[in-house]
A and B are shown apart, each in its own frame.
With several copies, the nearest count.
Chain A
Amino acid sequence: MSSARRGSTILGALALVFILVGQYWGLVKAPPDAYQGDSQRIMYLHVPSILTAYLSFFIVFVGSCLYLWKREPRDDILAYAAAEIGVLFTALTIVEGAIWGKPTWGVWWTWDARLTLTAILLLIFVAYLMLRALIEEEQRAAVSGAILGIIGFLDIPLIHMSVYWWRTLHQPPSILQPDKPPWENVHPSMLVALAINFVAFILLYFYLLSQRIRLGEKQAELRRRRLYGRR
Protein backbone atom coordinates (compact mmCIF):
# COMPACT_ATOMS: atom_id res chain seq x y z
CA MET A 1 0.00 0.00 0.00
CA SER A 2 2.50 2.59 1.10
CA SER A 3 4.99 1.63 -1.59
CA ALA A 4 2.24 2.15 -4.13
CA ARG A 5 1.64 5.51 -2.57
CA ARG A 6 5.29 6.38 -2.76
CA GLY A 7 5.36 5.33 -6.41
CA SER A 8 2.41 7.55 -7.10
CA THR A 9 4.04 10.50 -5.39
CA ILE A 10 7.24 10.03 -7.37
CA LEU A 11 5.15 9.83 -10.52
CA GLY A 12 3.50 13.11 -9.59
CA ALA A 13 6.80 14.80 -8.89
CA LEU A 14 8.27 13.58 -12.15
CA ALA A 15 5.22 14.76 -14.02
CA LEU A 16 5.55 18.18 -12.45
CA VAL A 17 9.21 18.43 -13.46
CA PHE A 18 8.51 17.37 -17.01
CA ILE A 19 5.59 19.74 -17.31
CA LEU A 20 7.71 22.64 -16.11
CA VAL A 21 10.53 21.76 -18.47
CA GLY A 22 8.12 21.09 -21.29
CA GLN A 23 6.36 24.39 -20.80
CA TYR A 24 9.65 26.22 -20.67
CA TRP A 25 10.72 24.53 -23.84
CA GLY A 26 7.40 25.05 -25.55
CA LEU A 27 6.85 28.63 -24.51
CA VAL A 28 10.38 29.99 -24.56
CA LYS A 29 12.94 27.82 -26.28
CA ALA A 30 11.03 26.63 -29.32
CA PRO A 31 10.80 29.27 -32.02
CA PRO A 32 7.40 30.69 -32.98
CA ASP A 33 5.75 29.07 -35.96
CA ALA A 34 6.52 30.64 -39.31
CA TYR A 35 2.86 31.10 -40.26
CA GLN A 36 0.88 31.02 -37.08
CA GLY A 37 3.21 32.81 -34.74
CA ASP A 38 2.99 32.22 -31.05
CA SER A 39 -0.47 30.75 -31.09
CA GLN A 40 1.02 27.59 -32.50
CA ARG A 41 2.67 26.93 -29.16
CA ILE A 42 -0.58 25.54 -27.86
CA MET A 43 0.21 22.49 -29.94
CA TYR A 44 2.61 21.35 -27.23
CA LEU A 45 -0.39 20.80 -24.99
CA HIS A 46 -2.93 19.94 -27.61
CA VAL A 47 -1.31 16.92 -29.15
CA PRO A 48 -0.22 15.25 -25.91
CA SER A 49 -3.72 15.75 -24.44
CA ILE A 50 -5.44 13.88 -27.21
CA LEU A 51 -2.89 11.13 -26.94
CA THR A 52 -3.63 10.60 -23.28
CA ALA A 53 -7.34 10.64 -24.03
CA TYR A 54 -6.90 7.79 -26.47
CA LEU A 55 -4.84 5.94 -23.91
CA SER A 56 -7.68 6.43 -21.46
CA PHE A 57 -10.21 4.88 -23.73
CA PHE A 58 -8.03 1.86 -24.12
CA ILE A 59 -7.66 1.50 -20.36
CA VAL A 60 -11.43 1.76 -19.91
CA PHE A 61 -11.79 -1.06 -22.38
CA VAL A 62 -9.25 -3.26 -20.64
CA GLY A 63 -10.73 -2.57 -17.22
CA SER A 64 -14.24 -3.29 -18.47
CA CYS A 65 -13.28 -6.60 -20.03
CA LEU A 66 -11.44 -7.69 -16.93
CA TYR A 67 -14.36 -6.71 -14.75
CA LEU A 68 -16.93 -8.67 -16.71
CA TRP A 69 -14.61 -11.62 -16.79
CA LYS A 70 -13.27 -11.75 -13.24
CA ARG A 71 -15.74 -9.57 -11.35
CA GLU A 72 -13.01 -7.93 -9.33
CA PRO A 73 -14.16 -4.52 -8.07
CA ARG A 74 -10.58 -3.41 -8.65
CA ASP A 75 -10.97 -3.55 -12.42
CA ASP A 76 -14.17 -1.56 -12.26
CA ILE A 77 -12.47 1.11 -10.23
CA LEU A 78 -9.74 1.24 -12.86
CA ALA A 79 -12.21 1.63 -15.71
CA TYR A 80 -14.22 4.29 -13.91
CA ALA A 81 -11.09 6.23 -13.03
CA ALA A 82 -9.77 6.08 -16.57
CA ALA A 83 -13.10 7.24 -17.95
CA GLU A 84 -13.24 10.22 -15.66
CA ILE A 85 -9.73 11.32 -16.52
CA GLY A 86 -10.44 10.58 -20.16
CA VAL A 87 -13.27 13.10 -20.10
CA LEU A 88 -10.92 15.62 -18.59
CA PHE A 89 -8.29 15.21 -21.29
CA THR A 90 -10.73 15.04 -24.15
CA ALA A 91 -12.41 18.19 -22.97
CA LEU A 92 -9.00 19.77 -22.58
CA THR A 93 -8.13 18.88 -26.15
CA ILE A 94 -11.27 20.48 -27.45
CA VAL A 95 -10.86 23.61 -25.40
CA GLU A 96 -7.24 23.96 -26.49
CA GLY A 97 -8.23 23.29 -30.05
CA ALA A 98 -10.96 25.87 -29.87
CA ILE A 99 -8.61 28.43 -28.40
CA TRP A 100 -6.19 27.62 -31.15
CA GLY A 101 -8.86 27.65 -33.80
CA LYS A 102 -10.11 31.15 -33.08
CA PRO A 103 -6.88 32.96 -34.10
CA THR A 104 -5.91 30.56 -36.90
CA TRP A 105 -9.24 29.73 -38.52
CA GLY A 106 -11.35 32.54 -37.20
CA VAL A 107 -13.98 30.23 -35.69
CA TRP A 108 -14.17 28.28 -32.48
CA TRP A 109 -15.51 25.21 -34.13
CA THR A 110 -15.78 23.64 -37.53
CA TRP A 111 -17.02 20.28 -38.69
CA ASP A 112 -13.65 18.87 -39.55
CA ALA A 113 -13.34 15.09 -39.28
CA ARG A 114 -10.78 15.12 -36.53
CA LEU A 115 -12.64 17.66 -34.47
CA THR A 116 -15.86 15.78 -34.87
CA LEU A 117 -14.23 12.57 -33.86
CA THR A 118 -12.84 14.14 -30.71
CA ALA A 119 -16.24 15.53 -29.84
CA ILE A 120 -17.83 12.12 -30.30
CA LEU A 121 -15.19 10.65 -28.07
CA LEU A 122 -16.13 13.17 -25.44
CA LEU A 123 -19.80 12.35 -25.79
CA ILE A 124 -19.15 8.65 -25.33
CA PHE A 125 -17.07 9.23 -22.24
CA VAL A 126 -19.70 11.56 -20.85
CA ALA A 127 -22.41 9.02 -21.58
CA TYR A 128 -20.36 6.51 -19.64
CA LEU A 129 -20.24 8.76 -16.59
CA MET A 130 -23.94 9.60 -16.87
CA LEU A 131 -24.90 5.99 -17.17
CA ARG A 132 -23.02 5.14 -14.03
CA ALA A 133 -24.35 8.11 -12.12
CA LEU A 134 -27.96 7.47 -13.01
CA ILE A 135 -28.07 3.82 -11.97
CA GLU A 136 -28.61 3.46 -8.28
CA GLU A 137 -27.46 -0.05 -7.64
CA GLU A 138 -23.70 -0.32 -7.51
CA GLN A 139 -23.17 -3.65 -9.21
CA ARG A 140 -25.64 -2.78 -11.92
CA ALA A 141 -23.86 0.49 -12.54
CA ALA A 142 -20.52 -1.27 -12.78
CA VAL A 143 -21.77 -3.88 -15.21
CA SER A 144 -23.57 -1.30 -17.33
CA GLY A 145 -20.45 0.82 -17.44
CA ALA A 146 -18.35 -2.15 -18.47
CA ILE A 147 -20.71 -2.92 -21.32
CA LEU A 148 -20.60 0.62 -22.58
CA GLY A 149 -16.81 0.63 -22.20
CA ILE A 150 -16.48 -2.42 -24.40
CA ILE A 151 -19.04 -1.49 -27.02
CA GLY A 152 -17.71 2.04 -27.18
CA PHE A 153 -14.19 0.84 -27.78
CA LEU A 154 -15.27 -1.55 -30.49
CA ASP A 155 -17.16 1.28 -32.10
CA ILE A 156 -14.25 3.71 -32.29
CA PRO A 157 -12.67 2.36 -35.48
CA LEU A 158 -16.06 2.41 -37.18
CA ILE A 159 -16.79 5.93 -36.06
CA HIS A 160 -13.32 6.96 -37.13
CA MET A 161 -13.80 5.52 -40.58
CA SER A 162 -17.24 6.91 -41.11
CA VAL A 163 -16.36 10.39 -39.95
CA TYR A 164 -13.30 10.55 -42.13
CA TRP A 165 -15.16 9.30 -45.17
CA TRP A 166 -17.92 11.69 -44.43
CA ARG A 167 -15.42 14.51 -44.78
CA THR A 168 -13.35 13.12 -47.62
CA LEU A 169 -15.54 11.02 -49.84
CA HIS A 170 -18.45 13.30 -49.67
CA GLN A 171 -17.09 16.73 -50.32
CA PRO A 172 -13.66 18.15 -51.01
CA PRO A 173 -11.62 18.38 -47.85
CA SER A 174 -12.23 21.67 -46.15
CA ILE A 175 -9.73 24.42 -46.72
CA LEU A 176 -8.77 24.15 -43.12
CA GLN A 177 -6.42 21.32 -42.44
CA PRO A 178 -5.16 21.29 -38.92
CA ASP A 179 -3.41 18.01 -39.51
CA LYS A 180 -0.83 19.23 -41.95
CA PRO A 181 1.76 21.21 -40.12
CA PRO A 182 4.81 21.98 -42.18
CA TRP A 183 6.84 19.07 -40.87
CA GLU A 184 9.55 19.56 -43.49
CA ASN A 185 10.90 22.66 -41.93
CA VAL A 186 10.16 22.07 -38.31
CA HIS A 187 12.71 23.43 -35.99
CA PRO A 188 14.31 20.59 -34.01
CA SER A 189 13.57 22.24 -30.71
CA MET A 190 9.91 22.18 -31.65
CA LEU A 191 10.18 18.41 -31.79
CA VAL A 192 12.02 18.32 -28.51
CA ALA A 193 9.34 20.46 -26.86
CA LEU A 194 6.69 18.15 -28.21
CA ALA A 195 8.51 15.06 -27.01
CA ILE A 196 9.03 16.42 -23.53
CA ASN A 197 5.40 17.36 -23.30
CA PHE A 198 4.37 13.91 -24.43
CA VAL A 199 6.32 12.37 -21.60
CA ALA A 200 5.00 14.96 -19.19
CA PHE A 201 1.38 14.26 -20.10
CA ILE A 202 1.81 10.52 -19.88
CA LEU A 203 3.35 10.89 -16.47
CA LEU A 204 0.66 13.28 -15.40
CA TYR A 205 -1.95 10.91 -16.69
CA PHE A 206 -0.68 7.98 -14.73
CA TYR A 207 -0.30 10.10 -11.66
CA LEU A 208 -3.91 11.23 -11.86
CA LEU A 209 -5.03 7.72 -12.63
CA SER A 210 -3.26 6.27 -9.63
CA GLN A 211 -4.71 8.98 -7.41
CA ARG A 212 -8.19 8.42 -8.75
CA ILE A 213 -7.84 4.69 -8.26
CA ARG A 214 -6.73 5.29 -4.72
CA LEU A 215 -9.80 7.40 -4.17
CA GLY A 216 -12.00 4.64 -5.54
CA GLU A 217 -10.32 2.09 -3.32
CA LYS A 218 -10.76 4.30 -0.31
CA GLN A 219 -14.46 4.62 -1.05
CA ALA A 220 -14.79 0.86 -1.36
CA GLU A 221 -12.84 0.48 1.86
CA LEU A 222 -15.18 2.92 3.56
CA ARG A 223 -18.19 0.92 2.48
CA ARG A 224 -16.59 -2.26 3.71
CA ARG A 225 -15.80 -0.67 7.05
CA ARG A 226 -19.39 0.43 7.43
CA LEU A 227 -20.43 -3.16 6.92
CA TYR A 228 -17.89 -5.09 8.90
CA GLY A 229 -16.96 -2.46 11.43
CA ARG A 230 -13.46 -1.19 12.01
CA ARG A 231 -10.85 -3.89 11.97
Chain B
Amino acid sequence: MELLRQACWLLWKDVRLELRRRESLMSMFFFGALLLFLFQFSFEIRQDRVAEMTPGLLWLAFVFTGMLALTQLFQPERENFCLEALLLTPFDRAALFVSKVIFNLILMLLVELVVFPLFAILFNLQYWGLLPSLFAVTFLGTLGFCVLGTLFSAVTLKARARELLLPLVLFPLLIPVVLATIRCLEIILRSGAWSEAYPWLRLLIAFDVIFMTAGYLIFEWVVEA
Protein backbone atom coordinates (compact mmCIF):
# COMPACT_ATOMS: atom_id res chain seq x y z
CA MET B 1 0.00 0.00 0.00
CA GLU B 2 1.59 3.17 -1.21
CA LEU B 3 -0.54 5.32 1.07
CA LEU B 4 0.44 3.45 4.18
CA ARG B 5 4.10 3.45 3.31
CA GLN B 6 4.06 7.20 2.87
CA ALA B 7 2.01 7.70 5.99
CA CYS B 8 4.55 5.64 7.90
CA TRP B 9 7.39 7.86 6.73
CA LEU B 10 5.52 10.98 7.72
CA LEU B 11 4.69 9.46 11.06
CA TRP B 12 8.30 8.45 11.54
CA LYS B 13 9.23 12.05 10.92
CA ASP B 14 6.81 13.40 13.52
CA VAL B 15 7.87 10.86 16.09
CA ARG B 16 11.51 11.66 15.39
CA LEU B 17 10.88 15.33 15.88
CA GLU B 18 9.06 14.73 19.11
CA LEU B 19 11.26 12.19 20.81
CA ARG B 20 14.87 12.78 20.25
CA ARG B 21 15.12 11.45 23.76
CA ARG B 22 12.77 9.44 25.88
CA GLU B 23 11.86 12.28 28.24
CA SER B 24 8.79 13.15 26.21
CA LEU B 25 7.14 9.99 27.45
CA MET B 26 7.98 10.82 31.02
CA SER B 27 6.46 14.22 30.58
CA MET B 28 3.30 12.51 29.40
CA PHE B 29 3.11 10.56 32.61
CA PHE B 30 3.49 13.54 34.84
CA PHE B 31 1.11 15.49 32.72
CA GLY B 32 -1.57 12.91 33.45
CA ALA B 33 -0.85 13.02 37.13
CA LEU B 34 -1.01 16.74 37.11
CA LEU B 35 -4.44 16.89 35.57
CA LEU B 36 -5.82 14.66 38.25
CA PHE B 37 -4.38 16.92 40.89
CA LEU B 38 -5.99 19.86 39.25
CA PHE B 39 -9.35 18.14 39.34
CA GLN B 40 -8.94 17.34 42.95
CA PHE B 41 -8.33 20.98 43.69
CA SER B 42 -11.21 22.16 41.56
CA PHE B 43 -13.89 19.87 42.90
CA GLU B 44 -13.86 17.97 46.08
CA ILE B 45 -14.17 14.57 44.56
CA ARG B 46 -15.80 12.48 47.21
CA GLN B 47 -15.84 8.75 47.18
CA ASP B 48 -19.58 8.42 46.75
CA ARG B 49 -19.62 10.68 43.74
CA VAL B 50 -16.63 9.40 41.91
CA ALA B 51 -18.37 6.82 39.76
CA GLU B 52 -20.77 9.43 38.55
CA MET B 53 -18.17 12.02 37.71
CA THR B 54 -15.49 9.75 36.36
CA PRO B 55 -16.42 9.72 32.67
CA GLY B 56 -16.71 13.48 32.56
CA LEU B 57 -13.46 14.05 34.36
CA LEU B 58 -11.59 11.54 32.29
CA TRP B 59 -12.84 13.06 29.07
CA LEU B 60 -12.08 16.50 30.29
CA ALA B 61 -8.50 15.39 30.69
CA PHE B 62 -8.41 13.80 27.27
CA VAL B 63 -10.05 16.64 25.42
CA PHE B 64 -7.69 19.07 27.05
CA THR B 65 -4.64 17.08 26.07
CA GLY B 66 -6.03 16.68 22.62
CA MET B 67 -6.62 20.38 22.14
CA LEU B 68 -3.15 21.25 23.31
CA ALA B 69 -1.67 18.72 20.96
CA LEU B 70 -3.77 20.04 18.10
CA THR B 71 -2.44 23.58 18.37
CA GLN B 72 1.02 22.22 17.76
CA LEU B 73 0.14 19.44 15.37
CA PHE B 74 1.18 21.16 12.17
CA GLN B 75 3.89 23.29 13.72
CA PRO B 76 6.72 21.44 11.94
CA GLU B 77 5.00 22.00 8.60
CA ARG B 78 4.43 25.67 9.32
CA GLU B 79 8.08 26.38 9.79
CA ASN B 80 10.38 26.92 6.90
CA PHE B 81 7.76 26.16 4.21
CA CYS B 82 7.93 22.46 4.95
CA LEU B 83 4.34 21.92 3.90
CA GLU B 84 5.33 23.16 0.47
CA ALA B 85 8.27 20.79 0.50
CA LEU B 86 5.87 17.94 1.13
CA LEU B 87 3.47 19.09 -1.55
CA LEU B 88 6.30 19.11 -4.07
CA THR B 89 6.62 15.36 -3.68
CA PRO B 90 4.11 13.22 -5.50
CA PHE B 91 2.81 11.61 -2.32
CA ASP B 92 -0.82 10.89 -1.67
CA ARG B 93 -2.15 13.89 0.27
CA ALA B 94 -4.29 11.59 2.34
CA ALA B 95 -1.11 10.04 3.73
CA LEU B 96 -0.43 13.27 5.55
CA PHE B 97 -3.90 13.16 7.02
CA VAL B 98 -3.52 9.56 8.10
CA SER B 99 -0.12 10.16 9.63
CA LYS B 100 -1.21 13.21 11.57
CA VAL B 101 -4.32 11.46 12.85
CA ILE B 102 -2.23 8.54 14.00
CA PHE B 103 0.35 10.79 15.59
CA ASN B 104 -2.29 12.69 17.46
CA LEU B 105 -3.92 9.43 18.44
CA ILE B 106 -0.67 8.03 19.79
CA LEU B 107 -0.12 11.08 21.91
CA MET B 108 -3.61 10.98 23.34
CA LEU B 109 -3.60 7.23 23.88
CA LEU B 110 -0.36 7.48 25.78
CA VAL B 111 -1.85 10.07 28.07
CA GLU B 112 -4.95 7.95 28.46
CA LEU B 113 -2.89 4.90 29.25
CA VAL B 114 -1.33 6.82 32.09
CA VAL B 115 -4.41 8.60 33.29
CA PHE B 116 -6.69 5.58 33.58
CA PRO B 117 -4.69 3.66 36.19
CA LEU B 118 -3.61 6.80 37.95
CA PHE B 119 -7.20 7.83 38.27
CA ALA B 120 -8.07 4.47 39.68
CA ILE B 121 -5.32 4.64 42.28
CA LEU B 122 -5.76 8.20 43.35
CA PHE B 123 -9.51 8.00 43.67
CA ASN B 124 -9.63 4.46 44.90
CA LEU B 125 -11.80 3.16 42.12
CA GLN B 126 -12.30 -0.52 41.55
CA TYR B 127 -12.75 -0.66 37.82
CA TRP B 128 -9.83 -2.86 36.95
CA GLY B 129 -12.07 -5.53 35.51
CA LEU B 130 -13.85 -3.01 33.32
CA LEU B 131 -10.65 -1.53 32.02
CA PRO B 132 -10.66 -3.29 28.64
CA SER B 133 -14.16 -2.16 27.79
CA LEU B 134 -13.51 1.33 29.06
CA PHE B 135 -10.44 1.49 26.97
CA ALA B 136 -12.19 0.25 23.86
CA VAL B 137 -14.85 2.92 24.11
CA THR B 138 -12.33 5.61 24.86
CA PHE B 139 -10.34 4.54 21.86
CA LEU B 140 -13.32 5.00 19.58
CA GLY B 141 -14.04 8.41 21.02
CA THR B 142 -10.44 9.47 20.81
CA LEU B 143 -10.27 8.40 17.21
CA GLY B 144 -13.22 10.56 16.31
CA PHE B 145 -11.73 13.47 18.18
CA CYS B 146 -8.38 13.10 16.44
CA VAL B 147 -9.89 12.87 12.98
CA LEU B 148 -11.96 16.00 13.40
CA GLY B 149 -9.23 17.80 15.25
CA THR B 150 -6.66 17.09 12.58
CA LEU B 151 -8.94 18.45 9.90
CA PHE B 152 -9.61 21.51 12.03
CA SER B 153 -5.96 22.08 12.65
CA ALA B 154 -5.08 21.69 8.98
CA VAL B 155 -7.68 24.24 8.01
CA THR B 156 -6.30 26.92 10.32
CA LEU B 157 -2.97 26.39 8.61
CA LYS B 158 -4.24 28.53 5.77
CA ALA B 159 -5.37 32.00 6.61
CA ARG B 160 -7.77 32.48 3.76
CA ALA B 161 -11.03 33.99 4.85
CA ARG B 162 -13.45 31.74 3.07
CA GLU B 163 -11.98 28.71 4.75
CA LEU B 164 -12.60 30.14 8.18
CA LEU B 165 -16.08 28.76 7.72
CA LEU B 166 -14.90 25.22 7.88
CA PRO B 167 -13.99 25.21 11.57
CA LEU B 168 -17.42 26.59 12.30
CA VAL B 169 -18.82 23.46 10.75
CA LEU B 170 -16.23 21.07 12.09
CA PHE B 171 -16.19 22.07 15.67
CA PRO B 172 -19.79 21.44 16.65
CA LEU B 173 -19.39 17.98 15.15
CA LEU B 174 -17.10 17.16 18.03
CA ILE B 175 -19.94 17.41 20.48
CA PRO B 176 -21.79 14.25 19.47
CA VAL B 177 -18.54 12.31 19.57
CA VAL B 178 -17.76 13.43 23.07
CA LEU B 179 -21.32 12.96 24.19
CA ALA B 180 -21.56 9.43 22.87
CA THR B 181 -18.31 8.44 24.49
CA ILE B 182 -19.27 9.82 27.86
CA ARG B 183 -22.62 8.10 27.81
CA CYS B 184 -21.01 4.80 26.90
CA LEU B 185 -18.47 5.11 29.69
CA GLU B 186 -21.17 6.00 32.13
CA ILE B 187 -23.26 3.00 31.24
CA ILE B 188 -20.33 0.65 31.46
CA LEU B 189 -19.21 2.04 34.78
CA ARG B 190 -22.70 1.90 36.18
CA SER B 191 -23.82 -1.50 35.04
CA GLY B 192 -21.01 -3.04 33.09
CA ALA B 193 -23.64 -3.99 30.53
CA TRP B 194 -22.69 -3.60 26.93
CA SER B 195 -26.19 -4.14 25.66
CA GLU B 196 -27.39 -0.86 27.07
CA ALA B 197 -24.47 0.98 25.55
CA TYR B 198 -25.07 -0.39 22.06
CA PRO B 199 -26.97 2.48 20.54
CA TRP B 200 -24.33 4.95 21.68
CA LEU B 201 -21.58 2.67 20.57
CA ARG B 202 -23.10 2.33 17.14
CA LEU B 203 -23.38 6.07 16.92
CA LEU B 204 -19.75 6.42 17.88
CA ILE B 205 -18.58 3.92 15.31
CA ALA B 206 -20.73 5.51 12.66
CA PHE B 207 -19.20 8.88 13.44
CA ASP B 208 -15.69 7.52 13.29
CA VAL B 209 -16.27 5.87 9.97
CA ILE B 210 -18.02 8.85 8.43
CA PHE B 211 -15.46 11.37 9.60
CA MET B 212 -12.52 9.23 8.60
CA THR B 213 -13.91 8.79 5.13
CA ALA B 214 -14.84 12.44 4.82
CA GLY B 215 -11.48 13.56 6.12
CA TYR B 216 -9.67 11.22 3.82
CA LEU B 217 -11.57 12.59 0.84
CA ILE B 218 -11.54 16.23 1.82
CA PHE B 219 -7.96 16.50 2.97
CA GLU B 220 -6.39 16.96 -0.41
CA TRP B 221 -8.56 19.98 -0.92
CA VAL B 222 -7.67 21.33 2.50
CA VAL B 223 -3.92 21.36 2.00
CA GLU B 224 -3.72 21.97 -1.74
CA ALA B 225 -3.06 25.40 -3.11
**A170 to B199 CA separation, bound complex (whole angstroms):** 12
Segment 110-162 of A: residues with Cβ below 8 Å from B = 111, 116, 119-120, 123-124, 126-127, 130-131, 133-137, 139-140, 143-144, 146-148, 150-152, 154-155, 158-159, 161-162
In the complex, how many residue pairs between chain A and chain B have their CB atoms under 8 Å apart? 121
| Chain B residues near A166 (CB-CB < 8 A) | 41, 179, 183
Render B154-194 as a binary contact track against A, CB cut-off 8 A, 1 for contact.
01101111100100110111011001100100000000000
A127 cross-chain contacts in B, Cβ below 8 A = 30, 165, 168-169, 172
- Report B101-130 CB contacts with A as 1/0, cut-off 8 Å: 000000000000000000001101000000
B33 contacts which chain A residues (CB < 8 A)? 123
Total count of chain A residues near the partner, CB < 8 A: 41
Which of B152, B173, B211 has the most CB atoms of chain A within a 10 A radius of its CB?
A: B173
Most A CB within 10 A of own CB, among B20, B40, B175: B175
Q: Which of A108, A123, A150, A158 contacts B206 (CB 8 A)?
A: A158
Q: How far is the CB of A115 from chain B (nearest CB, A)?
A: 11
When the two chains form their complex, are residues A154 and B210 in contact, meaning their CB atoms are under 8 A apart? Answer: yes
A109 at the interface (CB under 8 A from B): yes
Contact of B158 among A116, A120, A126, A137 (CB under 8 A): A137
Q: Is the CB of B214 within 8 A of A140?
A: no
Question: Contact between B160 and A109 (Cβ–Cβ < 8 Å)?
Answer: no
| Chain B interface (Cβ < 8 Å from any Cβ of A) | 20-21, 23-24, 26-27, 30, 33-34, 37, 40-41, 44, 121-122, 124, 148, 151-152, 155-156, 158-162, 165, 168-169, 171-173, 175-176, 179-180, 183, 199-200, 203, 206-207, 210-211, 214, 218, 221-222, 225
Q: Chain A interface (Cβ within 8 Å of chain B)?
A: 68, 107-109, 111, 116, 119-120, 123-124, 126-127, 130-131, 133-137, 139-140, 143-144, 146-148, 150-152, 154-155, 158-159, 161-163, 165-166, 169-171
A-B contact pairs, 13 of them (CB 8 A): A107-B124, A119-B37, A123-B33, A123-B172, A133-B23, A134-B27, A135-B159, A135-B160, A144-B222, A151-B151, A159-B172, A161-B176, A165-B179
